[in-house]
Amino acid sequence: MLRRAVLQTFRQGLAQSFFKRNAVSLSETTVTHQPIETSDEADEKSVSKQKPGDESGNTVVVAPPEFRFMYPEFLPDPAMERRNRLKEKLERIDMLQRRSVVEIPEFYTGSVMAVTVADANSPNKFARFVGICIQRGGSGLRAWFILRNVVDKQGVEILYEMYCPLIQKIEVLRLERRLDESLLYLRDALPEYSTFPLDMEPERRLNNSVVPINPLKVKLRPRPWLERWERQNLQGVEDLNLPQRFYDKAEKVAKPWEKYDLMLQYRKTIPAEEQEKIFADVHSQLQQQEFKRKIRRRRGIDNEQ
Amino acid sequence: MFWLFFNHEQVRTMSRVKRRTTHPPYWHVLKNNQRQDEKISSDNLRFVREVIQDKYKNKSPIKGSDLDIEKKEWDPKTKRSGVIARNIGVQHMWEKDGKKVVCTVLHVLDNHVIRYVPPEEYAKSIIGAKVFRNRKPLGCLVVGAEAANPDRFTRQYCSLFSEVGLLPKKRLARFIVTPNAVLPPCTPLTAGHFVIGQAVDVYGKTIDYGFQGVVKRWGFKGGPASHGATKFHRRGGTIGTGRDKARVWPGQKMPGHMGSERRFCRGLKIVRINMKYNVIYVKGTVPGPTNSIVQIFDTLLPRRKFTEAPPHPTYFPPEDGTLPQEDIWDSSLHVFGSPSISV
């Protein structure tokens, strides 16, 4: 029903590409949000295409709309007092330079990753850590993500800065999404949900165009917890089974008007026109880098064979 | 001996000096035009713009070889001109051993030298007399940055620039220079004026916090948050003894306006210069919020001054037409395009 309604709002060919990448938004947001959001992307094509001219008569290259989920750190911090276009441009140049040396793959919260870091105190001088990405944030060269794993019955979390030159390799062992943007509740969950073997092999996906959403519902340990999870509208958590007074207090403290606050959303995000410009800037270089890597990988496979 | 007690005795000097004003000094020329809603037709507007462009057409760049003033040699006691820049933000860089370094990005605006005031004349002015009371007088270079439409400014303000033939600038600054580092008017100053690895002093106005309480402004501890404290959480407490002097001493720390003061950050190291965009990366932080204007000049700190000659009196692009290196990095920094660090 929902799918049909969304399909009717814009063209056929575009709808499929939208679903492939933005599948999570179907479950989260209300119906009213989507037409507003997607009408911007409806103007952009799924494959990067040349837009028929602007004033000067030059064709404009437009990045695919998925870029803002694949590379969210290219978008600057929305706080208006601290924004400067020149500085953001220079930062993006540096980010692309770093990406040309190290492959920073597409990943989301809930993906299992392995990071190899140069470490003077390790026996091999390199330290490799495998974990599930529970949170990611920062913008520009400050972008970071947190990996969590349980090693010898001890929960371990490591924050990695994506553009730190000590990082030798970032591999995504399992690329998937979860029902929440932040998986901090895994700290209060049963340890089996955060345990991943340190020698895990990268999993190959059959369908490369879709990023699967893992609808796993995690079981939490009994209280006390680190945060009041009942107040956070978590989708990926099993029924908390708390006494009713907790839910009553959560309702009292909740701010249900925030989802109607347009200015709040505006201040928290970069407007679509600016996002377009930023990704158009960055798009061709990223594509070139990916292309070179694919060739290198294919050559590597051929050499092995 | 009072410095031995500075932990629990407030320093009361400078308590009566006014730290900030909202009005400019009396000798400032009135700057901004009271904009009246002039109903000009679009054709006439276009004509006015053409006239402005013709009048202030780009002059040919000044070459190092044809300086009016005889080129003097650099010596360790020379004071060069400074530069007006905008603090455009903070970027993280990494050193070659993997240590993270917070660098401030400073965008050198379109600086041009407006005027030179020779030492004898400057020493006669009110400020010059104060500065050089017991010292040998030095000259003063007036530098302007950020050209703007002459419509915005008064005729008096524009006249400061029209003698030189420049578009009026939004920002002016004075830099004390020795006579051998003088520059002729209309000389552009760029990021190349500085050298990688040199120490600079950055002078700016700090972030304006407004009226702030005693905890944020002076770092007082306030009172307990609970345990029955009645209305005493972020207050100052006692402001004096009963006996001694029997009044509140001047300079007593109290709530008030915090910030928006002129401060120097001394000895900041330049770690990267981008000649294409005229941008300097400086190790550390700088007074003032993002997008505020600061002044940068060679450091006063005696141990971090130049040992070799810098571009003196300023940087001029090479006359044989070769372009300078676009992005210059300090040897201690890890360049982003180079391979990952392995320890």
Mean pLDDT by 10 residues, chain B (343 residues): 48 64 78 76 88 72 55 84 95 93 95 92 89 90 90 84 85 92 89 94 93 90 87 85 78 86 93 94 95 94 90 81 85 92 85
Can you give the residue ranges of every domain in chain A?
Answer: 62-101+255-295, 104-236
User: Which residue, chain included where needed, has tokens 């470490």?
Assistant: A119
Read off the tokens for B306. Answer: 């130049």
Angstroms from A60 CA to nearest CA on chain B: 24
Nearest to B92 among A119, A125, A141 (CB): A141
pLDDT of residue B23: 80
Q: Is the pLDDT of residue A258 over 80?
A: yes
Cα–Cα distance between A108 and A301 in angstroms, integer?
A: 27
User: Which residue, chain included where needed, has tokens 């040699």?
Assistant: B73
Cα–Cα distance between B10 and A57 in angstroms, integer?
A: 68
Nearest to A118 among B98, B289, B290 (CB): B98
Read off the DSSP letter of residue B270: E
> Which residues are paired to A148 by β-bridges?
A132, A157
Does B287 or A42 have the greater pLDDT score? B287
pLDDT of residue B63: 58
- Which amino acid does the sequence have at B225? A
Do residue B91 and residue A87 have CB atoms under 8 angstroms apart? yes
**Least CA distance to B273: which residue of chain A?**
A90
Sheet holding B169-177, edge to edge: B169-177, B139-147, B111-117, B188-189
Q: Is the pLDDT of residue A39 over 60?
A: no
| Under 8 Å between Cβ of A166 and A153 | no
Q: Is the pLDDT of residue A79 over 80?
A: yes
Length of chain B: 343
Do residue A87 and residue B339 have CB atoms under 8 angstroms apart? no
Pairing relationship of beta strands B256-258 and B210-212 according to DSSP bridges: antiparallel
Backbone angles phi, psi at B332, to 5 degrees: -85, -10
| B326-338 residues labelled b (16+ CB within 10 A) or e (exposed) | ebbbbeebbbbee
Interchain CB contact of A128 with B (< 8 Å): no
Angstroms from A26 CA to nearest CA on chain B: 36
Q: How far is CA B286 from CA B100, B112, B206, B259, in A?
A: 18, 23, 9, 14
What pLDDT band is residue A42 in, cutting at 50, 70 and 90?
A: very low
Q: Say what percent of chain A tops pLDDT 90.
A: 61
Q: N- to C-terminal Cα distance for chain A?
A: 49
Q: Which of A31-45, A54-68, B308-322 has the highest mean pLDDT?
A: B308-322
pLDDT of residue B205: 92
Burial degree of A211 (CB within 10 A; 0-12, 13-18, 19+): buried
| Under 8 Å between Cβ of B262 and B203 | yes
pLDDT of residue B232: 86
Kindly report the average pLDDT of chain A as a whole number: 82
Angstroms from A116 CA to nearest CA on chain B: 11
The highest-level CATH class for domain A104-236 is mainly beta
Best mutation target among B88, B274, B291 (most A Cβ atoms within 10 Å) is B88
Does B319 or A293 have the greater pLDDT score? A293
pLDDT of residue B90: 95
Give one DSSP letter per residue of B84-127, joined into a string: EEEEEEEEEEEBTTS-EEEEEEEEE--EEEEEEE-HHHHHHSHH
Interchain CB contact of B334 with A (< 8 Å): yes
| Under 8 Å between Cβ of B196 and B208 | no
Within 10 angstroms of residue A25's Cβ, the number of other Cβ atoms is 16
Read off the pLDDT of residues A101-121 as tens digits, 9 standing for 90 and up. Answer: 999 999 999 999 999 999 989
pLDDT of residue A52: 42
Interchain CB contact of A98 with B (< 8 Å): yes
Q: Is the pLDDT of residue A30 over 50?
A: no
Do residue B91 and residue A161 have CB atoms under 8 angstroms apart? no
ipTM of the complex: 0.85
Q: Is the pLDDT of residue A162 over 90?
A: yes
For chain A, give percent helix, strand, coil, nearest 5.
45, 15, 40
Interchain CB contact of A60 with B (< 8 Å): no
- Show residues of chain A in contact with B100, CB under 8 Å: 161, 164
Cα–Cα distance between B173 and B109 in angstroms, integer?
A: 13
